[in-house]
């Protein structure tokens, strides 16, 4: 796509066309990642060892934490870059891309060091028990070494979409996932590496993804860079990367926190309950990852129109984004709720796990339309550089509101209260988001509805 066509896409193309051109590659990338997650869970569950499955599930928050750290620079940087492109300040945008790239590399190296230094207390915090710690440690070892690769990947994959290179971002993600899927059975079963094999396959996938993303920036991009010569930016911009990136990253961080809290509550009900939760969460991604793909796929369009102060186009994009998110999630939720037992049973042939997982999955998908509203509003605030409402939404759904809800529901209803806590939190967070967006429209002229 030429520079002229890229500008035409962001400024003049019909909203529906621009939306799908930018967001569909992100959705397809999410779908492949979803397939990887499902296949990975399938192979891990194929060991028919509930302790191994539980051990891997207990380490999943670490992986999510790394994604959250990468999002600081990927989402924070892309938010600023898309608005700078809208303002026609390409030179500054290029330096922001260089700064974010190397900040992500340094952060990954620090994480690796900290994970090995504090391995035992981290595993205990994640809820590893005498029966699961062996398998959790195996998974932990390789994920710790791969931290720099995992964290780095989120930066170029997000940033290149601001220049319209969503297809290239998708190709890199798909290629890494294919490698991961191919290596899973080899490492887990052939080499008999178990949980460690699943983690190593994941890391090897990121090796390829990162290499491709760097290649695309070097060969396909005209406005971005990975050169160390373009890392110097004003302190105000660097601060903005963190002010926007940290709230944006908290969505993944809160997911990590959320999973840790649920696992710690469920461990009293045995390894099969924890294993069922791990499977149910993966299946729920069928809806959630597609929704995330649409929401974050639209972010560059929102940021560009906001930066260009194109009020009318901005409102059309937001309305269309809401229509897609809520409509898709409602239809998908109905399907998942109906076929929940079959979906859970396809991963693990254990009646207790299927029974636990079916109830969990049905509760999780019940309120996905409200999740769609939260996703759209969150990405709007991120794209427009509104740190405070972005922060509030990011820490609410799977953090503050969820914590308050699960404390109450678990105490009042026991096991049923644990698995219904998230749907209740989804609804309450959507209500909070709607009120904050209404307040933002009153104070921000660019958000006001066109007559």
Does residue 411 lie in a domain region?
Answer: yes
DSSP letters, 29-47, are: HHHHHHHHHHHHHHHHHTT
Does residue 183 lie in a domain region?
Answer: yes
| Cβ neighbours for 110, distance < 8 A, ≥ 6 positions apart | none
Considering only 75-84, 218-227, 285-294, which range has the smallest mean pLDDT? 285-294
Q: For residues 16 and 20, give the distance between their C-alpha atoms in angstroms, rounded to a whole number.
A: 6
Q: For residues 161 and 188, give the distance between their C-alpha atoms in angstroms, rounded to a whole number.
A: 34
pLDDT band at 56 (very low <50, low <70, confident <90, very high): confident
**Residue 226: CA atoms inside 13 Å, Cβ hemisphere, count?**
21
Are 287 and 368 in contact, with CB atoms under 8 Å apart? yes
Write out pLDDT tens, residues 108-149: 999 999 999 999 999 988 888 888 898 999 999 999 999 999
Does residue 57 lie in a domain region?
Answer: yes
For residues 275 and 200, the model is more confident at 200
Whose CA is closest to 82, among 108, 65, 64, 100?
Answer: 100
Does residue 46 lie in a domain region?
Answer: yes
Buried b (16+ CB within 10 A) or exposed e, 46-80: ebebbbbbbbbbbbbbbbbbbbbbbbbbbbbbbbb
pLDDT band at 247 (very low <50, low <70, confident <90, very high): confident
Are 274 and 267 in contact, with CB atoms under 8 Å apart? yes
Count of structural domains within the chain: 1
- CA distance readout (Å), 40 to 60, 153, 181: 12, 19, 7
pLDDT > 90: percent of the chain: 42
Residues 180-204 have a mean pLDDT of 90
Q: What is the predicted pLDDT for the residue at 272?
A: 84
Does residue 392 lie in a domain region?
Answer: yes
Rg (CA), the chain: 21
Does residue 286 lie in a domain region?
Answer: yes
The pair of structure tokens assigned to 417 is 């209260």
| Cβ neighbours for 108, distance < 8 A, ≥ 6 positions apart | 66, 69, 147, 148, 149, 150, 151, 152
For residues 284 and 112, the model is more confident at 112
Q: What is the predicted pLDDT for the residue at 451?
A: 42
pLDDT band at 152 (very low <50, low <70, confident <90, very high): very high
Tokens 């670490």 belong to 62
Q: For residues 407 and 310, give the distance between their C-alpha atoms in angstroms, rounded to a whole number.
A: 44
The pair of structure tokens assigned to 16 is 């529906």
State the SS3 of 259-301: HHHHHHHHHHHCHHHHHHHHHHHHHHHHHHHHHHHHHHHHHHH
Considering only 28-32, 291-295, 314-318, 414-418, which range has the smallest mean pLDDT? 28-32
The boundaries of the domain holding residue 68 are 6-444
Q: For residues 425 and 407, give the distance between their C-alpha atoms in angstroms, rounded to a whole number.
A: 12
Q: For residues 194 and 128, give the distance between their C-alpha atoms in angstroms, rounded to a whole number.
A: 17
Are 317 and 97 in contact, with CB atoms under 8 Å apart? no
- CA distance readout (Å), 147 to 13, 61, 74, 213: 39, 13, 15, 17
pLDDT band at 41 (very low <50, low <70, confident <90, very high): confident
Are 340 and 358 in contact, with CB atoms under 8 Å apart? yes
Does residue 431 lie in a domain region?
Answer: yes
Q: For residues 316 and 293, give the distance between their C-alpha atoms in angstroms, rounded to a whole number.
A: 19
Does residue 420 lie in a domain region?
Answer: yes
Write out pLDDT tens, residues 27-38: 888 787 777 777
Q: What is the predicted pLDDT for the residue at 1?
A: 54
Scanning 146-234, the segments in alpha helix (DSSP H) are 147-159, 166-185, 194-219
């Amino acid at each position: 796509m030429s520079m002229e066509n890229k500008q035409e896409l962001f400024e003049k193309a019909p909203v529906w066309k621009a939306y799908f051109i930018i967001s569909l590659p992100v959705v397809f990338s999410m779908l492949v990642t979803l397939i990887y997650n499902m296949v990975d869970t399938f192979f891990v569950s194929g060991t028919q060892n509930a302790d191994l499955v539980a051990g891997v599930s207990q380490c999943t928050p670490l992986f999510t934490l790394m994604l959250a750290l990468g999002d600081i620079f990927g989402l924070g940087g892309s938010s600023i870059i898309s608005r700078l492109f809208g303002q026609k300040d390409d030179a500054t945008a290029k330096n922001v891309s260089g700064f974010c790239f190397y900040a992500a590399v340094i952060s990954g190296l620090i994480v690796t060091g900290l994970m090995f230094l504090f391995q035992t207390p981290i595993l205990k915090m994640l809820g590893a028990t005498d029966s699961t710690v062996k398998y959790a440690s195996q998974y932990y070892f390789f994920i710790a070494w791969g931290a720099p690769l995992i964290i780095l990947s989120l930066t170029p994959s997000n940033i290149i979409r601001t220049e319209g290179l969503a297809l290239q971002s998708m190709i890199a993600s798909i290629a890494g996932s294919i490698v991961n899927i191919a290596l899973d059975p080899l490492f887990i079963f052939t080499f008999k590496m178990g949980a460690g094999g699943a983690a190593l396959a994941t890391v090897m996938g990121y090796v390829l993804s990162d290499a491709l993303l760097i290649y695309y920036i070097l060969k396909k991009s005209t406005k971005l860079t990975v050169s160390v010569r373009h890392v110097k930016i004003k302190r105000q911009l660097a601060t903005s990367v963190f002010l926007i990136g940290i709230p944006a990253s908290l969505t993944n961080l809160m997911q990590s926190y959320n999973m840790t809290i649920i696992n710690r509550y469920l461990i009293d009900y045995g390894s099969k309950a924890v294993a069922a939760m791990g499977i149910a969460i993966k299946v729920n991604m069928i809806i959630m990852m597609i929704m995330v793909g649409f929401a974050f796929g639209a972010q560059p369009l929102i940021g560009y129109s906001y930066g260009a102060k194109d009020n009318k186009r901005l409102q059309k994009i937001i309305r269309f984004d809401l229509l897609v998110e809520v409509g898709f999630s409602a239809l998908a939720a109905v399907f998942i709720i109906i076929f929940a037992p079959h979906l859970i049973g396809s991963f693990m042939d254990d009646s207790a796990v299927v029974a636990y997982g079916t109830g969990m999955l049905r509760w999780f998908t019940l309120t996905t339309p409200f999740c769609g509203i939260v996703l759209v509003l969150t990405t709007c605030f991120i794209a427009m550089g509104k740190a405070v409402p972005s922060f509030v939404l990011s820490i609410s759904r799977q953090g503050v509101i969820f914590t308050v809800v699960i404390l109450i529901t678990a105490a009042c209803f026991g096991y049923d209260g644990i698995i219904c806590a998230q749907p209740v939190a989804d609804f309450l967070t959507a209500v909070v988001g709607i009120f904050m967006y209404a307040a933002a429209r009153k104070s921000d002229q660019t958000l006001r509805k066109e007559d």
